[in-house]
Amino acid sequence: MRNATRRILTRGMATAPQNVPMSRLEKDKFINYQRIEDNLAIVRKRLNRPLTLSEKVVYGHLDDAANQEIVRGQSYLNLRPDRVICQDATAQMAILQFMSAGLPEVACPSTVHCDHLILAENGSESDLARAKEINGEVYNFLATSSAKYGLGFWKPGSGIIHQIVIENYAFPGALIIGTDSHTPNAGGLGSVAVGVGGADAVDVMVGLPWELKCPKNIGVKLTGSLNGWTSPKDIILEVAGILTVKGGTGAIVEYFGPGVDTLSATGMGTICNMGAEIGATTSLFPYTDRMGKYLRATGRPEIAQASASFANNLRADEGAQYDQLIEINLSELEPRINGPFTPDLMTPVSKMKETAKKNDWPEKLHVGLIGSCTNSSYEDMTRAANIAKEALDAGLKVKSGFTITPGSEQIRATTERDGILETFRKAGGVVMANACGPCIGQWARHDVKKGEKNSIITSYNRNFTGRNDGNPATHAFIGSPEIVTALAFSGQLTFNPMTDTITTPDGKPFKFTPPFGDELPIKGFDAGENTYQAPPEVRSAVDVEVKPDSQRLQLLTPFKPWNGKDYKDSRVLIKVKGKCTTDHISMAGPWLKYRGHLENISNNMLIGAINIENGEANNVKNQETGEWGAVPAVAQAYRDSGISWVVIGDENYGEGSSREMAAMSPRFLGGVAIIVKSFARIHETNLKKQGMLPLTFTDPKDYDKVDPTDKVSILGLDTFAEGKPLTVRLEKQNGETVEFPVNHTFNPNQIKWFKAGSALNEIAKNVAAQ
Return d(Cα 251, Cα 256) in angstroms, integer. Answer: 16
Burial class of 78 by CB neighbour count within 10 A (0 to 12, 13 to 18, 19+): middle
In DSSP terms, 253 is beta-bridged to 218, 283
Single out the residue of 81, 85, 84 nearest to residue 32, CA to CA: 81
In DSSP terms, 83 is beta-bridged to 176
Tell me the pairing of strands 616-617 and 610-611: antiparallel
The pLDDT of residue 324 is 97
CA Rg value for the chain: 25
- Write out the catalytic residue numbers: 115-116, 180, 462, 657, 659
Please, where are the H alpha helices in 150-197? 161-168
3-state secondary structure of 402: strand
Rounded average pLDDT over 247-273: 97
Phi-psi region of 250 (alpha: psi -120 to 50; beta: other; left: phi over 0): left
Rounded average pLDDT over 435-444: 94
For the cut 70, the answer to whether the pLDDT of residue 465 exceeds it is yes
The pLDDT of residue 657 is 79
Contact residues for 320 (Cβ-Cβ < 8 A; gap 6+):
50, 51, 52, 53, 55
The pLDDT of residue 770 is 67
- Res. 12 pLDDT band, cuts 50 70 90: very low
The pLDDT of residue 766 is 76
Per-position b or e across 238-261, b if 16+ CB within 10 A of its CB:
bbbbebbbbbbbbbbbbbbbebbe
In DSSP terms, 76 is beta-bridged to 213
The pLDDT of residue 540 is 87
Tell me the pairing of strands 216-223 and 324-329: parallel
pLDDT digits (tens, 9 = 90+) for 636-682: 999 999 999 999 999 999 998 778 899 999 999 999 999 999 999 88
Single out the residue of 706, 713, 718 nearest to residue 729, CA to CA: 713
The pLDDT of residue 5 is 35
Q: What is the SS3 assignment for 3-20?
A: HHHHHHHCCCCCCCCCCC
Average pLDDT taken over every residue of the chain: 95
* Portion of the chain with pLDDT greater than 90, in percent: 92
pLDDT digits (tens, 9 = 90+) for 539-565: 989 999 899 999 999 999 999 999 999
For the cut 80, the answer to whether the pLDDT of residue 272 exceeds it is yes
Return d(Cα 187, Cα 215) in angstroms, integer. Answer: 15
- Looking from the CA of 166 toward its CB, the CA atoms found within 13 Å total 37
Number of H helices, E strands in the chain: 24, 34
In DSSP terms, 192 is beta-bridged to 175
For the cut 70, the answer to whether the pLDDT of residue 343 exceeds it is yes
For the cut 80, the answer to whether the pLDDT of residue 7 exceeds it is no
pLDDT digits (tens, 9 = 90+) for 559-618: 999 999 999 999 999 999 999 999 999 988 788 889 899 999 999 999 999 999 999 999
The terminus-to-terminus CA distance of the chain in angstroms comes to 56
Please, where are the H alpha helices in 60-123? 88-101
Tell me if 550 sits within 8 A of 597, measured CB to CB: yes
Return d(Cα 415, Cα 461) in angstroms, integer. Answer: 22
pLDDT digits (tens, 9 = 90+) for 300-321: 999 999 999 999 999 999 999 9
